[in-house]
């Protein structure tokens, strides 16, 4: 691959790893190294500390001298950007390391941990590489389970097949279709899309395949949550001056609670029910659904996943 900048750079991303993740309650947390995620939801923490290590996967290009770097925590929910310095490891000069400490009150929803490596090139500081980014999850859609089984089962089926469910045959090019039957919701995944099943079920996907898997997965997650919320919104009932009543189905009710929790100006799901029932003007409805769409996007990490993928490949 040819570089798109006028100085030597690494062709591939550096590897990245999180070590010794500990919260203020001394609870150790194991990072998800397959998906590059640090899941911190439902831990009741106030501060978390961990070490970030990044390493090259190829020899240094000619002309690159001593390397340094920085990690950047970016959180869209709080409009926060926090830098951390990375320095060469004493025992392994090729590896850069840094200790990162985060406070819970400066983060919301999810955050991205990205890394840039710099070096002196012809007397100037240049960005010469980037490491694989991590997603830090603080709040994520997670519907309640029943007796040890998931609330929505997943089934692969060819949407073009004659015996495919009716909901799947409505759009044979769709990636997924949700049959939200109250007794047993099913998410059908389209086995007729070439390569989709192989990509989504890849356990050790790397580089482009990993990025595509994450983007497709978050896209399907956003579709699923959006569909559930539309069904839930249709069941919100307001009788005169009485407080609106939400859906009775546990899955739909849980969906509303998660969405309400991701909208900053709502303090309870009852406020979301009231807004759904009382908003009548076009402007109020547009504002409300913009908040709902943004909340669903944050809960499923759809935009942040796409943004991470594009940031990884912009200099390839």
For residue range 86-95, list pLDDT tens digits in order: 988 888 878 9
Structural domain boundaries, residue 31: 15-140
Q: How confident is the model at residue 300 (pLDDT cuts 50, 70, 90)?
A: confident
Q: How confident is the model at residue 302 (pLDDT cuts 50, 70, 90)?
A: confident
| Distance in angstroms (rounded) separating the CA atoms of residues 204 and 209 | 9
The two three-digit tokens of residue 229, written as one number: 């919320």
| Token pair 């547009």 in the structure block, residue | 286
The residues facing 15 across adjacent strands are 55
Report yes or no on 244 lying in a domain: no
| Token pair 């603080």 in the structure block, residue | 138
Quick one: pLDDT at residue 135? 87
Name the phi and psi angles at 206, rounded to 5: -125, 155
pLDDT above 90: residue 289: yes
Average pLDDT rounded to a whole number, residues 260-271? 88
- The domain that contains 46 carries what CATH number? 2.60.40
Report yes or no on 170 lying in a domain: no
pLDDT above 60: residue 71: yes
Does the predicted TM-score (pTM) go above 0.75?
Answer: no
Task: Specify the number of domains making up the chain.
Answer: 1
Lowest mean pLDDT across 117-126, 170-179, 280-289: 117-126
Report yes or no on 194 lying in a domain: no
Percent of the chain clearing pLDDT 70 (strictly above): 90
Quick one: pLDDT at residue 213? 86
pLDDT above 60: residue 232: yes
Strands (E), the chain: 15-23, 37-39, 47-55, 67-75, 80-88, 96-103, 110-121, 124-137, 153-157, 176-179, 186-190
Quick one: pLDDT at residue 139? 63
Quick one: pLDDT at residue 5? 54
Do residues 104 and 47 touch, judged by C-beta distance below 8 A?
A: yes
pLDDT above 80: residue 114: yes
Q: How confident is the model at residue 185 (pLDDT cuts 50, 70, 90)?
A: confident
The SS3 call for residue 89 is coil
Q: How confident is the model at residue 146 (pLDDT cuts 50, 70, 90)?
A: very low
Quick one: pLDDT at residue 147? 34
Average pLDDT rounded to a whole number, residues 254-273? 89
Q: How confident is the model at residue 144 (pLDDT cuts 50, 70, 90)?
A: very low
Report yes or no on 315 lying in a domain: no
Quick one: pLDDT at residue 11? 78
Report yes or no on 121 lying in a domain: yes
Report yes or no on 163 lying in a domain: no
Report yes or no on 80 lying in a domain: yes
Report yes or no on 6 lying in a domain: no
pLDDT above 80: residue 183: no
The two three-digit tokens of residue 194, written as one number: 């070439």
Q: How confident is the model at residue 150 (pLDDT cuts 50, 70, 90)?
A: low
Quick one: pLDDT at residue 280? 83
């Amino acid at each position: 691959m040819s570089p798109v900048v006028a100085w030597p750079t690494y062709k591939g991303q550096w590897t990245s790893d999180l070590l010794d993740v500990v919260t203020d309650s001394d609870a150790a947390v194991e990072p998800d190294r397959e998906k590059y995620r640090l899941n911190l939801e439902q831990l009741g923490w106030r501060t978390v500390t961990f070490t970030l290590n990044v390493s090259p996967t190829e020899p240094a290009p000619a002309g690159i001298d001593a390397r340094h770097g920085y990690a950047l925590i970016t959180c869209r929910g709080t409009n926060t950007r926090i830098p951390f310095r990375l320095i060469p490891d004493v025992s392994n000069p090729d590896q850069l390391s840094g200790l990162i400490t985060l406070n819970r009150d400066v983060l919301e929803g999810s955050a991205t941990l990205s890394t840039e490596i710099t070096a002196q090139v012809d007397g100037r500081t240049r960005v010469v590489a980037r490491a694989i980014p991590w997603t830090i999850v603080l709040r994520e859609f997670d519907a309640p389970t029943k007796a040890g089984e998931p609330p929505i089962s997943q089934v692969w089926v060819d949407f073009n097949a004659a015996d495919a469910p009716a909901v799947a045959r409505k759009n044979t090019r769709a990636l997924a279709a949700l049959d939200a039957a109250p007794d047993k919701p099913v998410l059908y995944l389209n086995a007729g899309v070439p390569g989709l099943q192989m990509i989504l079920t890849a356990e050790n996907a790397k580089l482009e395949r990993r990025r595509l898997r994450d983007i497709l997965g978050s896209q399907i997650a956003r579709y699923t949550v959006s569909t559930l919320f539309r069904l839930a919104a249709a069941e919100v009932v307001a009788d005169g001056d009485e407080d609106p009543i939400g859906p009775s189905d546990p899955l739909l009710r849980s969906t509303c609670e998660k969405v309400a929790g991701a909208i900053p100006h709502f303090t309870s799901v009852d406020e979301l029910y009231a807004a759904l029932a009382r908003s009548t003007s076009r402007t109020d409805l547009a504002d409300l659904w913009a908040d709902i769409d943004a909340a669903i996007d944050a809960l499923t990490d759809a935009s942040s996943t796409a943004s991470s993928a594009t940031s990884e490949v912009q200099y390839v």
